[in-house]
Amino acid sequence: MIALIGNPNAGKTTIFNNLTNSSEIVGNFSGVTVEKKIGKYKKYSIVDLPGIYSLIPYTIEEEVTVDFIKNDNISLIINVIDINKLNRSLYLTSRLMDLNIPMIIMLTKVKSTKVDIELLKRILGINIILVSKKIDYAKLDRLLNDNNNYYYNKFKRYDDIVADIEKRYEKIDEICNKVVISKTSNKLSNIIDSILTNKYLSLVISLLLFILIYYVSINIIGIRLVSILSNTLNRGIIYISNIIDSTNTSIVFKDLITKGILKGISNIISFIPLIIILTFIISLLEDSGYITRMSLMLDKFLRIIGLSGKSFSPLLNSSTCSVLGMMATRTIKDNKERLKTIFLIPFIPCSAKLTLIIYITTVFYNNSFLMFLSFYLVCVIVLIIASLLFKKSKSSYMIEIPSLKIPSISIALKSTYDKVKSYLFRIITVVLFISIINWFLISFNTSFNYGVRYNNSILYLIGYKISNIFKLFGIKESISIITGFMAKEQVVSTLSVLGNNLNKISAYVFCIFNIITIPCINTVVALKNECGYKLMILYNMLYLVISYIVSILIYLIIRIIM
């Protein structure tokens, strides 16, 4: 087993992706890699571990790395070092050398700092591979096959911990003074950085940037692609229906294919262009280093509601999937803040909830971008108010700010592909299954006679009972709320099959309820894994209560205004 080990943001996951042809997420903030990830490079197994600064774990994700190093049979360490932070990175190297495990060093981000590589190699006694635009695969293969990666540890160990650290850094300073030839500063990058991190301008820039991203992605590009794909899918359904009509296939089978399966998932699939565009743009921002700066600038604001900048990464990840957001909370050391962040994550609309928001704004509000933004505004207000249910966090926030860079399109494409693939998998499995169940329940009565009227169907009887619970909504809408518990995309799918009795006001309230209430089953499982059964049950009860109260308040406010 070969282990990739290094500081956060050193470039481990990029190297892992290149070596294993993987599509793991690459980000410039601590916490993207929250679990070990294993891939294959030729005959070798390679594991990508969370970034660490020493062998003393500080967060849950660092414990993953330290436990793996101590308890797993590692045959070789590839120590990934950011050449621009050589002084600090070599401290971890010195600790890894104490383990007496064969090691190779990969130096990344070599454009702005020049180092005498041969001298550094002689001083440390460790083979070094310089990673510029590409990895030197020939040299890597040679080193892996030679098995000549042992070294003599140049760092002495002292019993006194303080003395040990001091002596190591003295040795590291001595090494850096010898091997670092020159450093160049990027003036343009510094100017841009001073603007992006300005305490007055940063929040305004971030807000305007994300509004622009959503406006361009949805109103200018996305909605046109959605329309094209939707029309294409509808023509495809008609074409398939005509083919089935030309055969002797039974009406039951025809309706299952066209009304149960194709109609059930076509509306959801048509929104995939929007998911692709938004995911790709956010991936570019992550790779550029901008998202890290946002977390730093938002730290003061988040502290007002009892969080810190550490919570920003999980909240941002939850815009793709709440499960990813909850897993990313493992970077938060303070357990109270971690549990609070987990509770707040479902209030951020994920890609599945985004599908519902776009559906409602398109069908009922003529694709109004202001109405689209209003859903997010309500979610933010609810998140802020809900945060008051917990005590404020008193944890400090320290983060390493990576250099600004031109983002890699290939990395963003890989990240987008991975997320969209996961989204499609949900459609093919959970959403498709529930669509078939919905079709069956709406097509048969309790005597299993086919082709009955909706008012006599099994689904109507179920919906009638459920609607007594959800007094705000009708039978069809109540059914979609229940199916949405399995997967929030299913709300749109169910409404597509059943139709709806919504008007503009009820549609808005209905959407608010669904994007705030109990999340999908996958998120509930993640809640149980991260918090335990008791908190999982408590959180879901709170989601239901909060969503109901907010929906009633929104309904009353709209009525008063109108």
Residue 379 tokens, joined:
């979610």
Distance CA 486, CA 491 (A): 10
DSSP secondary structure letter of residue 107: E
Helix axes 458-467, 475-484, angle to 10 degrees: 90
According to the model, what pLDDT value does residue 2 have? 86
Question: pLDDT of 96-148, one tens digit each?
Answer: 888 888 888 888 876 667 888 888 888 888 888 888 767 888 888 888 887 77
Do strands 76-82 and 37-41 pair parallel, antiparallel, or not at all (unpaired)?
unpaired
pLDDT at 262 over 90: no
Distance CA 521, CA 486 (A): 5
According to the model, what pLDDT value does residue 376 have? 92
Give the model's confidence band at 36: pLDDT under 50 very low, under 70 low, under 90 confident, else very high.
low
Domain ranges of the chain: 2-183, 202-392+408-561
Distance CA 455, CA 482 (A): 19
Q: Over the chain, what is the mean pLDDT?
A: 81
Distance CA 173, CA 183 (A): 16
Q: Can you tell me whether residue 469 is helix, strand or coil?
A: coil
Greater confidence (366 vs 58) lies with: 366
Q: On the CB side of 214, how many CA atoms lie within 13 Å of its CA?
A: 20
Helix, strand, coil percent content, the chain, rounded in steps of 5: 65, 5, 30
According to the model, what pLDDT value does residue 112 have? 66
According to the model, what pLDDT value does residue 550 have? 93
According to the model, what pLDDT value does residue 378 have? 93
Tracing tokens 């007594």 back to the chain, one arrives at: 468
Question: pLDDT of 119-128, one tens digit each?
Answer: 888 888 888 8
DSSP secondary structure string, 409-451?
HHHHHHHHHHHHHHHHHHIIIIIHHHHHHHHHHHHB-TT--BS
DSSP secondary structure string, 526-544?
HHHHHH-HHHHHHHHHHHH
pLDDT at 29 over 60: no
Q: Can you tell me whether residue 78 is helix, strand or coil?
A: strand
Distance CA 136, CA 313 (A): 33
Distance CA 123, CA 118 (A): 9
According to the model, what pLDDT value does residue 343 have? 92
Distance CA 20, CA 36 (A): 14
Domain 2-183: assigned CATH number? 3.40.50.300
DSSP secondary structure string, 272-317?
HHHHHHHHHHHHHHHHHTHHHHHHHHTHHHHHHTT--GGGHHHHHH
> Is-above-0.75 flag for pTM?
no
According to the model, what pLDDT value does residue 374 have? 92
Give the model's confidence band at 416: pLDDT under 50 very low, under 70 low, under 90 confident, else very high.
confident
Q: Can you tell me whether residue 81 is helix, strand or coil?
A: strand
Task: Please state the rounded mean pLDDT for residues 260-266.
Answer: 77
pLDDT at 12 over 70: yes
Separation in Å, CA 200 to CA 192, 197, 204, 209, 285: 14, 9, 8, 15, 21
User: Of 106, 102, 99, nearest to 7 (Cα)?
Assistant: 106
According to the model, what pLDDT value does residue 137 have? 82
Task: Please state the rounded mean pLDDT for residues 8-30.
Answer: 66
Give the model's confidence band at 28: pLDDT under 50 very low, under 70 low, under 90 confident, else very high.
very low
Question: pLDDT of 422-470, one tens digit each?
Answer: 777 776 777 778 778 878 888 888 888 887 777 788 888 887 777 777 6
Q: Is 518 left (phi over 0), alpha (psi -120 to 50) or beta?
A: beta
| Phi, psi of 115, rounded to the nearest 5 degrees | -130, 140
Question: pLDDT of 311-351, one tens digit each?
Answer: 888 888 888 788 888 888 877 878 888 889 999 999 999 88
Residue 310 tokens, joined:
């550490």
pLDDT at 513 over 90: yes
Distance CA 290, CA 27 (A): 10
